[in-house]
Amino acid sequence: MKLLKITGLFFLVILIVVYYLFSTFTAPKSDAAVIKKFSGSIHKPIITQEVFKHYNYRKLTIKRDTTLPTLVFVHGTIGSSIDFIRYLKDSLLLTKANMISYDRIGYNYNDNNSVQESITFERDMLNHVIKNLDAKKTILVGYSYGGPIALAIQKKIRKIILIAPAVYSKVEPMPWAINLYKSKLTRWLIPKIWKEASKEKISHKKDLRNFENSWKFSLNNIISIHGTSDWIVPYKNSIFLQDQFPEKQFKLVTIKNTGHGLVWNNFKEIKQQLLNQLD
């Protein structure tokens, strides 16, 4: 009986530690914490607080040369502007492009606003982010939920690069952990940022139906980078897109045996695809 109590206490402590680390790692970071992540980097971002409609959001800008194209990164669910920090700090990319990354509503540091659960809202906000950029020099990079946001842009720009884009409702999975949010008995256990992500995940499948039949009308050339082992946003999303476009407009880059974390785990491959579009 004593051994059982000790074992139970041990696992409880482990659970608390994991929960703490999990919450800390995924929580939005302060401006000071963001700048600290650029220590050692020659080019540090300018952090600004922007306003779209009545919402404040944070934007990171690294601008060196107005003659260069601009990479604009759109994060997923759950996510933030610093999901792309390795790209923002990369010395080779910085010789070829300016870069912008921003926090979507609900994912800002100390953000009291909720996620908007609307691709239309997110598209309009992205238009606000890029409104002063030269469209011919603008390359959008949308990861996961950021994929359909970038793809929804209706004006002609230089290129859209999608990384594991969640664009097809019929293959949109619903993780079991979402049930923890759905139940009032367990919702209190979930960190705030994951509550926001859960809301966005639940509504995303329905919202996609308003867009997925019109992806094919995009004016832009598109590249989709996807891993075959992705169970969070299945590879079939990119296959679905491939079927919508002529070959000259759409390119599918397949990374075998790679899951949804490719934006971090396959940095070299994705960086090369970005460089290909900047040369």
User: For the chain, what are the domain ranges?
Assistant: 29-278
The mean pLDDT value for 7-22 works out to 52
Window from 20-29, 159-168, 200-209, 214-223 with minimum mean pLDDT? 20-29
Instruction: Report helix, strand or coil for 222.
Output: strand
Instruction: Report helix, strand or coil for 93.
Output: helix
The mean pLDDT value for 224-252 works out to 97
- Evaluate whether 249 touches 186 at the Cβ level (below 8 Å): no
DSSP 62: E
Question: Tell me, what's the pLDDT at 211?
Answer: 96
pLDDT at 271 over 80: yes
The mean pLDDT value for 143-148 works out to 98
CA 71 vs CA 153, 164, 179: distances in Å: 15, 17, 36
Question: Tell me, what's the pLDDT at 243?
Answer: 96
Question: Tell me, what's the pLDDT at 177?
Answer: 79
What confidence category does residue 3 fall into, taking pLDDT thresholds of 50, 70 and 90?
low
pLDDT at 2 over 70: no
Q: Which residue has the higher pLDDT, 195 or 7?
A: 195
Q: Cα Rg for the chain, rounded, in angstroms? A: 19
Question: Tell me, what's the pLDDT at 23?
Answer: 55
For CA atoms 53, 54, 60, 64, the dihedral sign is positive
Structure tokens at 116: 């908007």
Average of per-residue pLDDT values in the chain: 90
Question: Tell me, what's the pLDDT at 24?
Answer: 60
- Evaluate whether 134 touches 157 at the Cβ level (below 8 Å): no
Cα 86–Cα 265–Cα 41 angle in degrees, nearest 5: 15
* Domain boundaries 29-278, corresponding CATH code: 3.40.50.1820
pLDDT at 10 over 60: no
The pTM (predicted TM-score) of the whole model is 0.91
The enclosing H or E element of 267 equals helix 267-278
Place of tokens 């999901």: 83
The mean pLDDT value for 118-127 works out to 97
The mean pLDDT value for 79-103 works out to 95
Strand 159-163 and strand 138-143: the pairing is parallel
What confidence category does residue 20 fall into, taking pLDDT thresholds of 50, 70 and 90?
very low
pLDDT at 63 over 90: no
Structure tokens at 249: 């407009």
pLDDT at 197 over 50: yes
The mean pLDDT value for 66-94 works out to 95
Cα–Cα distance between 207 and 193 in angstroms, integer? 21
What confidence category does residue 73 fall into, taking pLDDT thresholds of 50, 70 and 90?
very high
The mean pLDDT value for 137-158 works out to 97
Window from 93-102, 114-123, 186-195, 268-277 with minimum mean pLDDT? 186-195
